Homo-oligomer: A and B are copies of this chain.
Amino acid sequence: MNEIAPFDTRIDPSVLAARLSDERAPDIVEALNEEAPEVAAAILLGLPHERAVEVLDQPELDSAADIIEMLPRDRVASFLSGMSADRITDVFREIEEPGRSDLRARLDAETRGAVDRLSAYGEETVGSLMTTEFVTVPGTWSVAQTLEHVRTVEKTRETIYAIFVLDPRTRALTKAVPLRRLISGDPQDNVLSVAPGRPPLAVSPTASREEAARLISKYDLLALPVVDAVGHLIGIVTVDDMIDAMVEKQTQDVQRFGGMEALPEPYMDIGFLTMIRKRAGWLCALFLSEMLTASAMQGFEGELEKAIVLTLFIPLIMSSGGNSGSQATSLLIRALALHQIRLRDWWKVALRELPTGIVLGSILGLIAVARIAIWQKAGFYDYGPHWPLVAATVGAALIGIVTFGSFAGSMLPFALQRIGFDPATASAPFVATLVDVTGLVIYFSVALLILRGTLL
């Protein structure tokens, strides 16, 4: 591994800059992320200009906005002019006014136009992920002309591995030529001779980032063109930007599934109060919903007093419902995300989860009955003279609760998608809470049915 070891002590920024200047940009980023923004800015100023720009261009640089605000105003313009428009847009989102307007005024006209257009797109859209540095040629050019053009613009384009051919009259996107086919083509031929037969796949700038990720992943693309309503190419999503977005989305999904708001920054960089806020919201919401269990228990107080033995199994039974629900939710979140299942297939899933839940509940029910019987017979505990009925109650309740858990857990992602939410906002604690109240009602209803006239 060629990665950089963390600095042990505080050293003069210019010394750090000299030591870092030969490292890869992502490694410099990691080193800068360990420093305060003012130190990071000082180090950046000590790096060779091209390297510093490359570092600022990395989305992994945590406090790029703070760093840029600390750079001397006379050098900022030259740094910004080297950065890609999509990265500048992202950084600008985090800079407060009037700093942002001041920096915007320092951009050259072309970049400023691109940044203004990119800023208009919502954070979850393709538009906010795309870059405007791509290669286009008119469909009238030859392979040799195209290659010559690619050589000229190479340095200023985010990728040259896909070359976009435009209709010479309407300037609409007509083909996407992979560079590998271009360099194997006959130089004299028209560029269209090496283009694939099909029109290129493209997305709208208002499509979701997940849609772009799905297309890039499914069709193994290095760059996905983004076109406006009349078919003009307005940007591309490159595979490396998409991977960064995928990793970020995965982190958000795991955090949401864990029952909290997604964190905007790494664990150790989050302030204590932000951390509390991101976790307390859902925790309180779940707590308030879970209070219904106390109300349900109060409703069954009479039964509880008559049959204390029933309370012994409450945690066991409720957790089983939550666990089976959590399994089903995790399955459906991914199946929906990967388009393996569509919204209209919900009834197929319901028809599958119901028998699955019955079988899983029966397995747990049998284990519970066995456990009660063994404890009773071996004398570990005395469940009273009606212990076979208690065992039957616990076993039957488990079948009902696990079945309900599997069913409710599998339907929740569909319900979220139906009302316009990402199914991945469903969380394990939410499913557990959903199942808990119903679980109690099922348990006591089964108990009333089986134990009436004996214990109850």
Contacts and interface: CB of A to CB of B under 8 A. Distances in A.
A257 B428 contact: yes
Interface in A159-205: 160-161, 179-181, 183-184, 197-199, 201
A402 to B, nearest CB: 8
A176 to B, nearest CB: 13
Given A298-B312, A298-B381, A319-B290, A216 B201 contact: no
Contact of A263 (B305, B331, B333): B331
A110 interface: no
A340 B219 contact: no
A128 interface: no
B184 A323 contact: no
A244 interface: yes
Nearest to A252: B334
A447 to B, nearest CB: 14
Interface stretch (A38-46, A85-93, A359-367): A359-367
A243 interface: yes
A60 B217 CA distance: 11
Nearest to A241: B220
B315 A290 contact: yes
A116 interface: no
A287 interface: yes
A311 B319 contact: no
A167 B327 CA distance: 52
Interface string A250-294: 110111011110010011100010011001101110111011011
A22 B199 CA distance: 12
Interface string A319-339: 110111011111111110010
B360 A280 contact: yes
Contacts of A155: 184
A287 B402 CA distance: 12
A429 interface: yes
A320 B259 contact: no
Interface in A350-392: 352, 355-356, 359-360, 363-364, 367-368, 371, 381
B259 A429 contact: no
A218 interface: yes
Contacts of A415: none
A301 interface: yes
A239 interface: yes
Interface residues of A, number: 114
Nearest to A342: B6
B268 A297 contact: no
Nearest to A353: B275
A316 B150 CA distance: 64
Interface stretch (A7-15, A76-84, A432-440): A432-440
A22 to B, nearest CB: 8
Contacts of A184: 151, 154-155
B291 A371 contact: yes
A107 interface: no
A95 interface: no
A330 B258 contact: yes
A314 interface: yes
A437 to B, nearest CB: 8
A451 interface: no
A247 B312 contact: no
Contact of A327 (B247, B258, B290, B301): B258
Contact of A315 (B293, B330, B359, B371): B293
Point out which of A322, A335, A349 has the most chain B C-beta atoms below 10 A from its C-beta: A322
B324 A279 contact: yes
A318 interface: yes
A335 B250 CA distance: 12
10 contacts: A60-B218, A154-B180, A217-B244, A222-B239, A254-B254, A257-B428, A260-B327, A280-B363, A305-B308, A432-B432
Given A239-B240, A243-B246, A258-B330, 13 more contacts: A154-B180, A179-B179, A220-B240, A257-B428, A260-B330, A267-B341, A272-B352, A280-B360, A283-B327, A293-B316, A326-B428, A326-B429, A432-B432
